[in-house]
Structure 1
Amino acid sequence: MSELTSVLLTGAIVLAVVLHLAWLARASRNRAKAAFAADEAAIRAVIADAIDASDGTAGVDTWAGSWNGERAQVRTIVDTLATRKLPTRWLSVSITEPVAVPGIFDMMMRPGSPTTFSNFDHLEHTLPKTAAFPDDAVLRTNRKGVVFPQDVIAAHAGIFAEGRAKELLITPKGVRIVWLLAQADRARYGVFRQAAFGDARLDPALLEELLAAASSLRQAINQRERQAA
């Protein structure tokens, strides 16, 4: 093979690789756009006035609107922390209305590693819990000595028996439930280091269920406070 032929062949191979990488990047962008549009459609099926409230944080998409007369927020979060075996996609659903609690109440299921969606690891005080809570739940707060209506909270935390609910956060500003949507495809992540979640999409029925759970818990806590007053 002549030197010129060798150079031309090498150039052709390099060009083919560059074009293939460009095609992969374009295909990835198209898949991301389609997935975002599908998520947005599912959210607007439940929260008709939802708007894109994302702040540009990589891997985090946020929508805000109103549900049954209450302010609501839906967020999807791709967690790629190195401490996890596989990247994980979380769904965070919140009712952002006042709650009659004296501080932060954070229930995390099976806490074992840091998360990108929660400040649970930064809360200094662990709460004793009643037997009504799941065995794998750990309760924390930001204020030592505060008392929360654990009987009311536990009575409205049945959704955590399903195994995919990860966190229940209650603050004076609202109630949030975090749910495991999907884990990345093991083979694709192992070979290409890509956090691909296949056909995992938001289900309007799931959104409705989580919003209803957060709303009913908030209302029950506020009702208990009014009765106590």
Structure 2
Amino acid sequence: MHSTGIALAFLFLIVLALMYLRNSKVLRAERGGLFDACLALFEQHRLTQDGVSWPVLAGSYDGYEVHVAPLVDDAAFRKVPSLWLLVTVKRKLPIKGAVDLLARAQNTEFYSPADSLPLRLVPPEEWPSQTTIKADKPATELPLSVLDPHVKQFFADPRAKEMLVTPHGVRIVYQAQGADRSEYLVLRRAVFREARLSTTLVESLLDQAVQVCADVIRGGVYGQT
């Protein structure tokens, strides 16, 4: 009897391991298709995916080096998790400081550098409300006037979360998808069903970030006295 129990327990562990491997394979494949519909946008690209994590894309778009990374945010208590898309355009910009614009700040934005920036700036009256501006240089040394039309356009979308402009380029953060509400409320699991990025969405976000870079470059030199 004792040996039979050990054998059954061993068999049970094998079954669990096989189920885990199967589920992991399915989950990896589901998440791995996130960028399938928009790969043709890039002149060249490289996808990396560790285990069952979401894939990350690095490549070139319109002559710019870009990086597109999904990020799951489930830090806010009692709030349905979000799948954020971090779209970065890498380009040397003629500014010395960094400026970060964050919409609806809740102090749970672990992906944002806002807390590390020492200065809080007063946003222009015409800019969307609920927008927090943090920087490491005074407003006079930052291209706020150049950013004005981009800020108004980007943050007019309720899914827009952040715009970060630094000497190394521009990053925007956008909500790609919200988690399944019922599954999260009952099981506290962040499940994003059939998550796929559309060509239209990715192209729009890349174009916005590229245009910010282009306008900052065209606007001249800031904060280099």
Report TM bin, short chain.
Answer: 0.7 to 0.9
Counterpart position of 2:60: 66
Q: 1:31 aligns with which of 16, 21, 27?
A: 27
Letter of the aligned partner of 1:70 in structure 2?
A: Y
For residues 84 and 49 of structure 1, do their structure 2 counterparts lie closer, same or farther at Cα, with a shift above 3 Å needed? farther
Q: 1:41 aligns with which of 36, 43, 57?
A: 36
For residues 142 and 59 of structure 1, do their structure 2 counterparts lie closer, same or farther at Cα, with a shift above 3 Å needed? farther
Distance 2:187 2:24 in 1: 13
Say whether the 8 Å CA contact 2:35–2:196 is kept in structure 1.
no
User: Does 2:53 correspond to 1:52?
Assistant: no
For residues 226 and 147 of structure 1, do their structure 2 counterparts lie closer, same or farther at Cα, with a shift above 3 Å needed? closer
Q: 1:78 aligns with which of 57, 72, 81?
A: 72
Distance 1:84 1:113 in 2: 14
Distance 1:163 1:50 in 2: 29
Say whether the 8 Å CA contact 1:74–1:94 is kept in structure 2.
yes
Alignment gaps of 5+ in structure 2 = none
Letter of the aligned partner of 1:187 in structure 2?
A: S
1:156: Cα distance to partner? 1.7
Letter of the aligned partner of 2:105 in structure 1?
A: P
SS of 1:202's equivalent in the other structure is coil
1:75: Cα distance to partner? 0.7
User: Does 2:171 correspond to 1:176?
Assistant: yes
- The Cα offsets for residues 35-73 of structure 1, whole Å up to 9 and x where unpaired, read as 21x22323422114111256x598554211111111111
Highest relative contact order (Cα 8 Å, sep 6+), 1 or 2? 2
Aligned residues: 219
**What TM-score results when the alignment is normalised by the length of structure 2?**
0.82
- The Cα offsets for residues 105-140 of structure 1, whole Å up to 9 and x where unpaired, read as 100001013223212122221012212311111110
Q: 2:123 aligns with which of 119, 124, 129?
A: 129
Distance 1:13 1:57 in 2: 28
Moved over 3 A (4+): 11-25, 56-61, 143-146, 190-193
Q: 1:221 aligns with which of 213, 216, 222?
A: 216
Q: CA RMSD in A?
A: 3.1
**What TM-score results when the alignment is normalised by the length of structure 1?**
0.81
How many percent of aligned residue pairs carry the same amino acid? 27
User: Does 2:95 correspond to 1:107?
Assistant: no
